[in-house]
Structure 1
Amino acid sequence: MQEEPYGEVFLINKPLEWTSFDVVRKVRNALKIKKVGHAGTLDPLATGLLIVCAGKKTKSIESFMGQEKEYTGTFEIGKTTESFDLEKPVVDVGDPSHISILQVKEAAAQLTGDILQVPPMHSAIKVDGKRVYESARKGIEVKMEARPVSVSVFEITKFENPTVHFRIICSKGTYIRSIARDLGDILKVGAYMSSLCRTRIGEYSLEEADELDHLIEKIKARKDENL
């Protein structure tokens, strides 16, 4: 009797400073198969839930990517960076000492619902067939069009000026770094994203995810059992 083609979905807590592709490569090497991919990039400076699909389950990647995402993290107001996160040097914009939690919540309300969002220049979006971050690294300005996204929840969970703690639930294609930029623009003092964790993709929660090293050990142990 012929075996069913292999397929598996892994929920992984992406380590800080790893790229999503680093994680895919690690899983691919452990499984020793070529067909492995992730369902939605997490930036190197973000942590949290990364869904990795292997074998025939790679056909499910698009359906995972289309599901809503939930994030927690922090924004810093009063400063910004070229990439709106910590990949680029931090520069001062304005004194945030007068900003109240009420003002922050009012600004967040303006960025909630169905909104138009301009993606950051340092992103993997393609314009005229080229990734915009490649142009950004060369100092080439690319005109980015605003795109419709949906932010169903933008909750300010704590405000310790200048640090804004948040929880966001949003649609596919939403850039949290762009929300940081726009929040800073509304408050007129600048802002950037200082930390980010993806806690949910659709019905899949970070609480269900494996630490990467632990998952690799499990995969190798399983392969050893089948030898």
Structure 2
Amino acid sequence: MQEKEPYGEVFLVNKPYEWTSFDVVKKIRNTLKIKKVGHAGTLDPLATGLLIVCAGKKTKSIETYMGQEKEYTGTFVLGKTTESFDLEREVVKVADTFHLTVEEVKAAAAQLTGDIMQVPPTHSAIKVDGKRVYKAARKGKEVKLEARPVTVSVFEITEFKNPDVHFRIVCSKGTYIRSLARDLGDILGVGAYMSSLCRTRIGEFKLEEAQEMEELIKEIKERPHENL
């Protein structure tokens, strides 16, 4: 009798708004009824778009997927900011933006293109001394984060409707788009935060190939159980 091949599968998911990446993993894990399920690169709860989820023996490929180039589209809002540089925290006004031109915004984006040093946001899943920094940030504790090298190969301003900056960004693993919002606002001297974000690509995998959660879960439930 031929031995059964160990189960392994890769899912391309369009992460729903306000779901954590772990929410997606947990839902797929519970539906598959197996323990070995993980994702290849966190998306913040307020972001949407492509999330790669690996199950069974395919979890060995997670690091490979995580290391691949990412592409995002979204919107930054100038003249205001938040503690987390997205809509997770309260929005506060920083400065007027009426004087800004699209040329100035594009010039600022150009300064954040290429091989750059970037400080991650304190409201992030990075670990310092074994603890997630966002947990300390939410308690009002100060955490010192060092700048890290990242590559932003494309920082395109697709539209500027003052104060909204619509963008397309292609970047390396470890790049924080919220940090680019913060840094763009700093260069322009008016502050900024990220109001929307969608991951459209990871390596060769595109968002158009991804399934909606509801559709995916329904499909898994309809499978013959012995296939797992």
| TM-score band w.r.t. shorter chain | over 0.9
* RMSD (Å), alpha carbons: 1.2
Show CA shifts across 1:42-77 (max 9, x none).
000000000000000000000000000000000000
Q: What residue in structure 2 maps to residue 70 of structure 1?
A: 71
Show CA shifts across 1:133-176 (max 9, x none).
11111111111100000000000000000000000000000000
Q: What residue in structure 2 maps to residue 141 of structure 1?
A: 142
AA matched with 1:10:
F
Distance 1:113 1:223 in 2: 49
Q: How many angstroms does 1:184 deviate by?
A: 0.2
Q: What residue in structure 1 maps to residue 218 of structure 2?
A: 217
Q: What residue in structure 2 maps to residue 125 of structure 1?
A: 126
AA matched with 2:200:
T
Q: What residue in structure 1 maps to residue 38 of structure 2?
A: 37
Q: Alignment partner of 2:224: what SS?
A: helix
| Structure 1 residues 1-227: aligned runs within 5 Å | 1-223=2-224
Distance 1:83 1:223 in 2: 44
Distance 2:144 2:225 in 1: 52
AA matched with 1:11:
L
Q: How many angstroms does 1:130 deviate by?
A: 1.5
- Structure 1: which 5+ residue stretches go unaligned? none
Q: Alignment partner of 1:41: what SS?
A: coil
- Structure 2: which 5+ residue stretches go unaligned? none
Distance 2:54 2:18 in 1: 21
Distance 2:34 2:97 in 1: 51
Distance 1:66 1:4 in 2: 27
Distance 2:71 2:169 in 1: 6
Q: TM-score, normalised by structure 1?
A: 0.98
Q: How many angstroms does 1:225 deviate by?
A: 8.6
User: Number of residue pairs matched?
Assistant: 227
Show CA shifts across 1:52-108 (max 9, x none).
000000000000000000000000000000000000000000001111100000000
Distance 1:55 1:193 in 2: 35
Distance 1:114 1:121 in 2: 22
Q: Alignment partner of 1:222: what SS?
A: coil
Show CA shifts across 1:30-53 (max 9, x none).
111010000000000000000000
Q: TM-score, normalised by structure 2?
A: 0.98
Show CA shifts across 1:169-220 (max 9, x none).
0000000000000000000000000000000000000000000100011111
Q: How many angstroms does 1:128 deviate by?
A: 1.7
